[in-house]
Amino acid sequence: MSRRRAGRLVLLCLTGFAGQAQQSPVIQIETRTVLVDAVVTGKRGEYVHDLTAKDFRIWQDGKEQAITSLSLESKSAEPHFLVLFFDDTRMAGQDQFLARQAASRFIDANSGSSRSMAIVSYNGFLRVAQNFTDDAGLLKDALNRVEGSSSVTSSSKLERPSTGSGTPSAADNFGSRNMLQSLGNLTKDLGVLPGRKTIVLLTGGLPFSSELKSVIAAAIEASSRSDVAIYPVNVRPVSVDVESLPNQETSGRRGRGLQGTDDSPRTQDLAAGQDLLLALADGTGGFLVRDSGELPAGLQQIGEEQTEYYVLSYTPPESKEGSCHALRVKVDRGGATVRARSSYCAAKPPDLITGTPAAKDLESRAAGTEAGNLRASIQLPYFYSSPSVARVHLAMEIAPNGLKFENQRGKLHAEVNLLGTATAPDGSVGARFSDTLKLDFDNQAEVDKFKQTPVHYEKQFRIAPGKYNFAVTFESDGTSFGKIPDFGKIEVPLAVDPWNTGELTLSSVALSRETHSAADLGLVSSLVEDRTPLIAEGAQFVPSGSSQFARSELGFFYLEFYDPDPASVRVRVRVLDRRTEEPKWDSGVTTLPLSSNAGKPSIPAGASLRLSSLATGPYELEVTAFDSTRKQVKRTADFEVK
């Protein structure tokens, strides 16, 4: 990872996003909100954009629910993630060539800012050919590598795998079952990314088998938990399947594909294999591209649907954690068709220490009045995921001196348990999390070196706009060693302004002392940790938990601008002496770069604090934005140079 120094004020636009997200967007148990994506089209297949919450109705387990909010994704600030999944076990050589040609055109049409793609292939095992990136060149290079490494047995003879011959072979069942299980596992991993994710499954079809029904049901459930829409694409020409039937079965029906009236077992199996793919699409909110003839138009529509959907929310009835529920969405407008996932699962976000002695101890500490003896500092910048949801990026610096290290299995081990709660004025809980930070070192020398700097910790959580009191309680776990743990507690106000999509809005400001290349992030790393990185101009800004900087170190800031007309936004950045209010640095009024904005209403930006030009003392960073309506919005962040 390389550090990046900026010697002048540069406002940076988002050019790539391949990161980690904070939790499954399907349901938030703490705030008791279910989010449902719905694609609505008119009589001619056009997308409908002018609906309100009154136009929608939604049922859970057959009981109608009250819709609490509605937003159109094209007005959202969320990034979009899409995976091209090549099932090489079901595609012959010519099918693979056709699929990769179509995928290459799809990449050219759909890659870019706020749209990150990854490429994976399955040929007995899942292989990541390209991590998430918005670089079309890298994605197309990966397509060439995947094509060159494919080794489907039948492809060398240009034969297509069978999709049914009355009874599929054991090998067909085994291979397709494993592929679908890998698909389901991938959807689980994608659950840590924000918003609605898309998987395009390029395959040569499925053999019909009742055994595969349960595997598809499991994949649909995993997709429901992770907010993943699956679009199966059968790249095989449908006429090939029908023409491969005996002459007496195809007589008079050649060229009609699976839409004929033939009731032979083979034709029924072919149709049933398509029905399995259709069930996978219907259950996750995608649609089925039935054959290679539909491939160009189907892929074009898949690309469009990354932003052509509504997000509805409702408060669900009480249900058991982990339980799944049937969903049905309807639109009350003549000629309109709605497509949405068929279920949601009450999957609670990870709360790692709930129910443990450590959790009970933290709850008691949080309710008490003691401040504790462990010291830390926190920053709580927030950014908008949608008009009704903000993501708070907690950054924390913990003084390491109070941490207890004990020998465990040859390692020097310490743990920090944390409990965070955002409480509204009426006492309701807007967000809550618990977590454990684990530290392991080989010897005391490594521990001593580690203790020379504060322990950096990050956590993201979602919350509705409003005013809260945020408290984080943390302790060095000594209970497992029979000791009383040291602890600390910090309470700060958290005020999240509402975002009206028709007006200029700014996020809060995140201070940073470290940046990395965003190219170092990818699909695998993005599925490991629970966070969405702050990225602008190919750089990841790591938020700092402290507002104190040394003149000799690097300092940065990051924030996001939201406006229905981003091209009209002007911005001015100043650094003021907090004691005298005298300006020490003034950027003047400048425009935001939009070359990679792709028409989105959000513009991530970051720049250097230029600490070396400032004398020691307290300062205020002031960011002011203006738009064409003459609205002015200001955000400030206090920091200190030592």
pLDDT value at residue 93: 83
Question: Which residue's entry shows tokens 């007005």?
Answer: 75
CATH number of the domain encompassing residue 493: 2.60.40.10
Q: Would you place residue 356 in the very low, low, confident or very high pLDDT band (cuts 50, 70, 90)?
A: low
Is residue 416 located within the same domain as residue 280?
Answer: no
Domain count, the chain: 2
What average pLDDT does range 539-553 have in this prediction?
A: 93
What is the pLDDT confidence band of residue 247, given thresholds at 50, 70 and 90?
very low
In a domain, 59, yes or no: no
Q: Do 397 and 482 sit in the same domain of this protein?
A: yes
- pLDDT value of residue 348: 54
Q: Say which range, 96-110, 397-411, 510-524, has the weakest mean pLDDT.
A: 510-524
In a domain, 544, yes or no: yes
Task: Give a yes or no: residue 343 inside a domain.
Answer: no
Is 582 a domain residue?
yes
Going by pLDDT thresholds of 50, 70 and 90, the confidence category of residue 409 is: confident
Indicate if 270 and 409 belong to the same structural domain.
no
φ, ψ dihedrals at 444, nearest 5°: -70, -30
- Which pLDDT value is given to residue 292? 87
Both 281 and 369 in a single domain? no
Q: What is the pLDDT of residue 13?
A: 31
Mean pLDDT of 215-237: 90
For 87-116, write each residue's pLDDT tens digit.
988 888 888 888 999 999 999 998 876 788
The pLDDT of residue 613: 92
From CA 342, how far away is CA 161, in angstroms rounded?
A: 31
CATH assignment at residue 219: 3.40.50.410
Residue 277 has which token pair?
């793919």
Instruction: Answer yes or no: are the C-beta atoms of 510 and 381 closer than 8 Å.
Output: yes
Q: What is the rounded radius of gyration, in angstroms, for the C-alpha atoms of the chain?
A: 27
pLDDT of residue 167: 52
Residue 503 in domain = yes
Final residue of a structural domain among 265, 284, 306: 306
More confident position, 598 or 47? 47
Contact 63, 314 (CB under 8 A): no
pLDDT at 193: 73
Look at residue 154 in the predicted model and tell me its pLDDT.
Answer: 38
Residue 298 and residue 434 in one domain: no
Longest CA–CA separation in the chain, Å: 94
Residue 197 clears pLDDT 70, i.e. is over it: yes
Can you tell me the mean pLDDT for 264-283? 70
What tokens appear for 12 in the block?
A: 């940076």
Using DSSP, state whether 239 is helix, strand or coil: helix
pLDDT digits (tens, 9 = 90+) for 278-308: 999 999 999 999 888 899 999 999 998 888 8
522 and 401 inside one domain: yes
How many angstroms separate the CA atoms of 576 and 558, rounded?
A: 18
pLDDT value at residue 158: 39
**Residue 202 within a domain:** yes
- The pLDDT of residue 116 is 84
CB 595 within 8 A of CB 530: no
Q: Within this chain, do residues 237 and 365 fall inside the same structural domain, yes or no?
A: no
Q: Is 29 exposed, middle or buried (0-12, 13-18, 19+ CB in 10 A)?
A: middle
Residue 527 DSSP code = T
Asked if 112 and 226 sit in the same domain, the reply is yes
Q: Which residues are 47's β-sheet partners? A: 41
Residue 382 has pLDDT above 60, yes or no: yes
Domain co-membership, 288 together with 423:
no
Task: For residue 219, give every residue at least 6 positions away whose Cβ sits within 8 Å of its Cβ, in sequence order, or none.
Answer: 180, 181, 183, 184, 187, 230, 280
Residues 505 and 593 in one domain: yes
Q: 423 pLDDT exceeds 60?
A: yes
DSSP class of 236? S
Indicate if the pLDDT at residue 210 is higher than 80.
Answer: no
State pLDDT tens for residues 608-626: 999 999 999 999 999 999 9
Helices 136-149 and 93-110 pack at an angle, to 10 degrees, of 170
Confidence check: pLDDT of 55 > 60: yes
Report the pLDDT value the prediction gives residue 212, as an integer from 0 to 100.
Answer: 86
Do 136 and 235 have their domain in common? yes
DSSP state string for 605-623: EEEE--GGGS-SEEEEEEE
Between 49 and 3, the more confident residue is: 49
What range does the domain containing 267 cover? Answer: 80-306
Residue 639 has pLDDT above 80, yes or no: yes
Residue 115 CA to residue 111 CA, distance in Å, equals 6
Across 586-600, average pLDDT: 71
Mean pLDDT along residues 204-221? 85
Percentage of the chain surpassing pLDDT 70? 78
| Higher-scoring residue by pLDDT: 363, 272 | 363
Q: What is the average pLDDT value for the chain, to the nearest integer?
A: 79
Mind listing the pLDDT tens digit for each residue in 317-348? 887 767 889 999 999 999 999 998 888 887 65
Highest mean pLDDT among 139-143, 198-202, 383-387, 597-601: 198-202
Same-domain status, 277 and 424? no
388 within some domain: yes
In angstroms, rounded to a whole number, what is the distance separating the alpha carbons of residues 638 and 547? 7
Does residue 555 lie in a domain region? yes
